[in-house]
Chain A
């Protein structure tokens, strides 16, 4: 089942086209990473999906409700952690949570229980009666996450949730997101932190200059960007380079230290050839690694291709 269905979303601000014909789906219980460089259209797309701004064209169905024609029903089912901290700084953490509970129509007792649990989870119980203006950035971000979770949403939108945070807050938030996803929450995560996306997301979509340039699982994206692959292999004793260069699928070889780096167009075929080579020549393989491009490489390649 698709939790988010975005189709042909288009948004223009004056002469600038911020989002141009963007469409994708997010499946139930998925962590979907929405990646792109600064100004690519990530936040604008998220704001259209969350009903904060209307698209000039296109549709978005969230949890089965059209965000334009039934915004309240759609919003009732999701929580949002926006890009910038936006708790009420004149209120305490507790008052902010009670406000959210009331806005989502929760009974008071349930809102209080959820608030206590959530504040405990993010380590803010001791500071719950302090005004938010005295909070650090990390504390504010943790509070905002609890505000988005007060009504136990099926879907959570997060726009750069760990941007500028310390390691402790970042780890706490990422662990919490992983736990939430395991409990069934679908997560739409906007980020430009590749490592974060690589570790968390089932699939990622990459946007560049308002257009989607790729949607796939991180590992597939990494491998898809290069038609050639690199395999690093070391044997228990010296082997002739000519013999390796002649193996099936091998394009190029290079020798560094005790390792051979083999470039191939067909990773599977070359690995099989290397194993067979070892067996036939009575030489054991000590290590064999495929060197995959990082998600950073994939991101840079895809966004640069779109630019050119």
Chain B
């Protein structure tokens, strides 16, 4: 066994992910930001937009759920662990910073996928038909990866106060929801909104979810998938690079 080898570091990242799942999934802020927030936003939107079809609303709910849930766990782990001094424990173990970040991302991805699958089931129970299951599955996997990397990026500022990161996280996440075609279809967006939506990975995911349920989409499917893949790579590489620089400042 080469402890520094890639396979062993991936295995140790999974160990970190299991620890995160055990400890952080049921923390208050994770449940509030990852489960209740998208649910109540959806309900508020449902109550005020009765003229929109159910398929549009559920697609938006799926998009919002994955976005909020996959970015709920990852931003808070580093500040929590920094505060509890367990991050120093991890930093002195034979795991790379990349493995620690990847482990936190895996926990976030699984949380996002788990909660999102529930909303998909709710959609199906409400009578929606799933027309492109493989596309939806691909989109969920890719977007969960991408959003968890965004979550980790939000945790880059080296503060050990989780509430600071949660505030920063909300400041960035909420505007993204409004420009990504969740509440207003891309076709009805003003030009400026449309330009901004191009820079949001949530736009492409929501577009893919709509395609999966209704066969309507704004961008070609391959562009949606390619854009999500590119965002995922950029955010993942970026978050690993930045955390490597800021981790020592948390000690």
Contact = CB atoms under 8 A, between A and B. Distances in A.
A83 to B, nearest CB: 9
A191 B84 CA distance: 22
B91 A76 contact: no
Contacts of B23: 88, 90-91
Contact of B95 (A47, A72, A87, A89): A72
B248 A54 contact: yes
Nearest to B22: A91
Contact of A80 (B15, B84, B92): B92
Contacts of B89: 80, 82, 86-87, 147
A75 B94 CA distance: 5
Contact residues of B: prevailing secondary structure: helix
Interface string B105-139: 00000000000000000000000000000000000
Contact of A72 (B4, B22, B88): B4
A86 B12 contact: no
Contacts of A105: 1, 3, 8, 11-12, 94
Interface string A52-63: 111000000000
A51 B23 CA distance: 25
B234 interface: no
A75 B86 CA distance: 16
A95 B22 contact: yes
Contact of A99 (B19, B84, B92): B19
Nearest to B97: A71
A135 interface: no
A76 B19 contact: no
B22 A76 contact: no
Nearest to B19: A99
Contacts of B95: 72, 103
Contact residues of A: prevailing secondary structure: loop
B47 interface: no
B104 to A, nearest CB: 14
A73 interface: yes
Contacts of B12: 102-103, 105
Contact of B96 (A72, A90, A99, A104): A72
Interface residues of A, number: 31
A86 B251 CA distance: 12
Given A53-B248, A91-B22, A104 B84 contact: no
B44 interface: no
Interface string B15-49: 11001001100000000000000000000000000
B4 A103 contact: no
A95 B21 CA distance: 13
Interface string A134-152: 0000000000000100000
A223 B16 CA distance: 50
Nearest to B16: A103
A95 B8 CA distance: 20
A89 B1 contact: no
B167 interface: no
A171 interface: no
B192 interface: no
A84 interface: yes
Interface of B: 1, 3-4, 8-9, 11-12, 15-16, 19, 22-23, 84-86, 88-96, 248, 251
6 contacts: A71-B94, A73-B3, A85-B85, A91-B23, A103-B90, A103-B94
